[in-house]
Structure 1
């Protein structure tokens, strides 16, 4: 595992713990010599995780659609900034480059990115680990929804377990390294 894609908010959120948790993840990525692949912004939780990786001497690849770069939120000190045309191209490039995916607190865009990677894993389009860094219990309602989906038989337990959840960056990354993907979903 060499590169981890992180999906997260361009806002700081209501609690300072979200930015602090992002910084902890960034430090851990740098310490483990894992390249951060992310949306390329200098603001919010996004900027915090990128800054922490860079401060730790790590490598950061940002991928940003041109319309967002024009709003002047692109991080100016990244190892590499790739400009793409659309949000779809951004996700495709992140999926191509990353060996695993972590969602930090964020809004609908963060969840949409996470769910696409979760769905692709379920369908066998990739066999990379996916996880939620559950900072300040942010993802507790989502985890409860996963449990409800499983109980109601819309999410099989073997696929439910694909979404690795932890509140500690080092433990989550250890689980990524030990990850064994389940068999590909079939409908027979």
Structure 2
């Protein structure tokens, strides 16, 4: 299967086939509105505005699996994001990304890019220490570890990168820029 074989539901419950994004660069992210990483919405919107006209889309999947940090309805989450971060990219229905009820899309993404660590820095250390207490074997599973895990998909549908929540947003932006500039598969 390829990324384009999957679908997600939008915030209104309508199926959205990822085939509609064929030949576009995608950033798929699980988000939360009450998380220490929530301010990343600002940078996500900046990346979206910069590259959207060049064939870039963000697929935002709110997820309440991590510390119940995505409370509220889909409409409330959308209102929060547009009010506080002026987001314009599509938000999907709040969904699970791990476990028995995980969206098949995220099961696929995790099979394509496994967890490779949180990186360096204070936020990475803090998250590493916290996750270690929850799951001592976390390093050996591809599961999403926390809110704001990002996957970048090239125009040809290849999952090219996985960024954990503490990864610098400048690295995410650079990866997106590289994919947008690569017109192969367009």
Q: TM-score, normalised by structure 2?
A: 0.36
Higher helix share: 1
Q: TM-score, normalised by structure 1?
A: 0.35
